[in-house]
Structure 1
Amino acid sequence: MLRFLQGVGLGGEATGSQLLAMEHAPDNRRGLYGALMAIGSPISQVLASLTLAGLAAVLSKEDFNEWGWRIPFLASFLLIGVGFYIRRSVEETPVFVKSQKVAAEKPRALAILQAHPKTLALLVMSWGASAAIFYICVTFAIYYLTGPLGLDRSISFSLLIVANGVSIFGGLLGGHLSDKIGRKKVLSIGLFLLLIATVLLFPVLGLKNWFASAAIISLALFAIQMNAGAQPAFFAESFPTNFRFTGSALGYTCSTMIFAAPAPFIATYLLGAFGGDPIGIVFYGLAIIAISAFALWRLPDQRGIPFE
């Protein structure tokens, strides 16, 4: 139930923050403004990990387990308060206010399924590779290193800090480049980098070398975050104002639900089905990349169009 509530909150919070930023942004900086929202995810991962590491370093194991873990947990309520205050203080965007004035009636919540079904379906597929391979290259890769390959679990902590730190620059680069060369070109570059990372992931992890593992996981997260930098503007520009929030949120959330949620389970099954050989997981990843590439090819690039 808590996971369900978290999903409801994320569906409104992530897309809502992106649209607020982009609808206030100049048309030629929309990608960068959307990317600034997207990099909140890896920044939070790095800060959370460093906070826990700092507490673990200064507290005994007993103190950390008894009360130390509550410090970052309770401190997160301050962030919720700050976020709530900002949301209440920021004015609605001009394009949204204008659309409310000219609209004869508000569209029904799921009217988007009748008005733009093809666009929505293609957007869901276009984000599938980034959504699924994130969990393969993070959740499953860490399991693979510390499970079948037998490495110490402590390495996962430092690996993810480095990879998430590198990916922040990927998000900023993706947003900036999408304003310069277009959303589709950036997403295509990101998919190509994901293709390389998917093919090389398990051979590199098999080396059992920390630096090699950090490099390949960082490449995967850099590519995913590069796509995440271009994704908010790409999705938002696919819908008119009265459908923009619903379409963007449904496209992103449905893609995560369909492609990302089952990815670690499918990867685990394929590893067993192929007798411990990860080749089945590689072909699974390549198939999803092909789906996303096809959907991306069918969608138009509407960089810089007036939101009105």
Structure 2
Amino acid sequence: MSSLYDASGIIGIFLASLLASQLGETHWRLLFWLGALGGVIGVIFRKTAKESPEFVPTPFSWRVIWQERRLLSRIAVISGFSYANYYLVTVFLNGHLPRISALTPSDALRFNTHLLWIDFLLLLGFGALCKSMRKEKLMLFATLATAVLALPLFATFDHAPHGISWGHAALIRLIFVTLGAALAAPYHAWKLDQLPSHNRFLLGSLGSTLGSQLFGAPIPLLATYLVAQTGLTWIAAIPLVILALAASLLLRSSATSPAILSSSPPE
């Protein structure tokens, strides 16, 4: 269910990208109306959906956030690593590859669309895999593999003997998307295991948002700055490696001391 939740978001982005490429220049108003209709349908679903039996709503509380700061930090770092990985191989490489190779911006963007449907299938596949292996092991494998592979893989962009081909760039991006899907597929199930049910939405959404905005969103800018200062592409992967190592340590600690035990339900 966690992988299906994530995959549904990816397929939505894929459809938006596909429709924009086909209709964006001539029927862009129609696309905005379709987007608005999707929002209305979402509101209807949200208003009519029933909460899970164990959910007890609680008011916003700074005290709860402070008490659960370690849990929030854990979710933020792991969520941030996931976003950083995707932003680095999509946003950053979309702009950087045309500068260092014969690839055009259209080539980079075209493969982005392919990455979306590949990511959709990978998410479903890794979700099914979690039926036969622990999700924490899969997530830990994804973070450790990224930490080990990121620098040498990005270094190939600096030392390609015959230049950077479409296949070379596609393979590197596909490896990172695969590792990203391995972490993202069970992420929501892992997060729910960590969260006390009475503060699930507050802590879960806040932790994920902090991660995406503090660690994920700045990655393209930081990577561009590092490359501009050094002239080396591999150095752009250093922030991702740091996040991957931090996420690995936090995943190991979460397996031995789940945060769900740290909170008691409201009286």
Is 1:134 matched up with 2:101?
no
User: What do the CA deviations read for 1:231-262 (whole angstroms, capped 9, x no partner)?
Assistant: 11111111211111111112111111211121
- The percentage of aligned residue pairs carrying the same residue is 21
Is 1:175 matched up with 2:127?
yes
CA shift at 1:282, angstroms? 2.5
CA shift at 1:204, angstroms? 5.1
1:11-26 matched pairs, under 5 angstroms: none
Name stretches of at least 5 consecutive residues in structure 1 with no aligned partner: 1-32, 57-63, 101-105
CA contact (8 A) 1:201 1:217 kept: no
Q: 1:156 to 1:73 in 2, by over 3 A?
A: farther
| Residue type at the aligned position of 1:238 | Q
2:30 corresponds, among 64, 71, 76, to 71
1:146-295 matched pairs, under 5 angstroms: 146-195=98-147, 196-197=149-150, 199-201=152-154, 203=156, 207-274=163-230, 276-295=231-250
Structure 1 stretch 69-78 or stretch 197-206: which is displaced more?
A: 197-206
CA distance in 1 between partners of 2:122 and 2:54 (Å): 29
CA shift at 1:107, angstroms? 4.8
Structure having greater relative contact order (Cα 8 Å, sep ≥ 6):
2
Q: How many residues align?
A: 255
CA contact (8 A) 2:153 2:172 kept: yes
User: What TM-score, normalized to structure 1?
Assistant: 0.75
CA distance in 1 between partners of 2:202 and 2:179 (Å): 26
Name stretches of at least 5 consecutive residues in structure 2 with no aligned partner: none
SS at match of 1:112: helix
CA contact (8 A) 2:86 2:177 kept: yes
CA contact (8 A) 2:154 2:234 kept: no
CA distance in 2 between partners of 1:243 and 1:220 (Å): 33
Is 1:297 matched up with 2:252?
yes
> Which residue number in structure 1 is paired with residue 71 of structure 2?
119
CA distance in 1 between partners of 2:61 and 2:166 (Å): 48
> Which residue number in structure 1 is paired with residue 20 of structure 2?
52
Q: 1:269 to 1:299 in 2, by over 3 A?
A: same
CA contact (8 A) 1:107 1:242 kept: no
User: What TM-score, normalized to structure 2?
Assistant: 0.85
Please, what is the CA RMSD of the aligned residues? 2.4
Q: 1:37 to 1:286 in 2, by over 3 A?
A: same
| Residue type at the aligned position of 2:126 | G
